[in-house]
Amino acid sequence: MQQIIPLAVLVVQLLLTTCIAYSEEFALPLEGGSIIVENPAFIQHAHDQDIPRLTFALVNATSDSWSFLELKFEIDGTCDGEHRQWSQKIVTSLGYFADRQRRRDYDELSIPLLGKVKGCRTERFKVALILAENAKVRIDVVTGERVDLVARRNAEEAQATEQRRIMVVQEAERKEVLAAQEEQRRKREVAQAEERRKREAEDYAKDHAICVQVYKRTSNKKVSDLTVKEEQQVRACQLLGLYQPR
């Protein structure tokens, strides 16, 4: 005898089935806990249209906030009975509260697929965490590579401090070299000035000695009695201010 199931029970069973299909939860292990993806949905049905809109809730079940999260969604479905696959990468961030889990709703329209999902239905999701970063660490979940951002910042700060120290030392050395060059230039100018003074003194002594002799030879002569050479010598000594007894 076939059992007759009441209509109310059928409605409840249908609702439960739909809830299970669209209430998947993915716990993605991460430092200090996990990132939870709740209720992912892709093909949205509105106004007799099938819209490629990826929606889900993201829950932070770790002990830290995350400034960068990259997730990959692989979606299996059917379009008019034919199997289809879609893939989308999502980049987002997620804060943290010490007293409760941080939740963030995500909603993104896939522009390239507009008009291309008519008659399509979502059947299954695969969600993978690709990359995660916070103030302390960057984790490549695919390769397992971890970058200690605190250590890197400390190293960069130490390097910057060392570079500044080197620049200070180099600047001090540059100034020292410039000061030494300036001192050498000053000494060279002093030496050159002294050399010029000596030459001028020697030249003056020579001219004075010559003019003394010219004066002795010509002082008792009339101008008309001077030879052309003597007249030239007298004029030269007068111009130098040396035609006088000393």
pLDDT tens sequence across 57-103: 999 999 899 999 999 999 999 998 899 999 999 999 998 876 567 88
Helix, strand or coil, per DSSP, at residue 111: helix
Query: Stretch 162-191: mean pLDDT, rounded?
Result: 94
Query: Stretch 223-237: mean pLDDT, rounded?
Result: 84
**Amino acid, res. 158:** A
Class level of CATH domain 7-144: mainly beta
- Quote the pLDDT of residue 9: 33
**DSSP string covering the chain, please?**
-PPPPPHHHHHHHHHHHHHHHT--EEEEEETTEEEEEEEEEEEEEETTEEEEEEEEEEEE-SSS-EEEEEEEEEEEEEETTEEEEEEEEEEEEE--BTTB-EEEEEEEE-GGGTTS-TTEEEEEEEEEEEEEE-SSEEEETTT--EEEHHHHHHHHHHHHHHHHHHHHHHHHHHHHHHHHHHHHHHHHHHHHHHHHHHHHHHHHHHHHHHHHHHHHHHTTS-GGGS-HHHHHHHHHHHHTT--S--
Query: Stretch 34-51: mean pLDDT, rounded?
Result: 91
- Quote the pLDDT of residue 228: 84
Percent of the chain whose pLDDT exceeds 70 = 88
Band of residue 216 on the pLDDT scale cut at 50, 70, 90: confident
Query: Stretch 141-160: mean pLDDT, rounded?
Result: 92
pTM of the model: 0.58
What order of strands is seen across the sheet that includes strand 66-79? 82-94, 66-79, 120-133, 137-140, 146-148
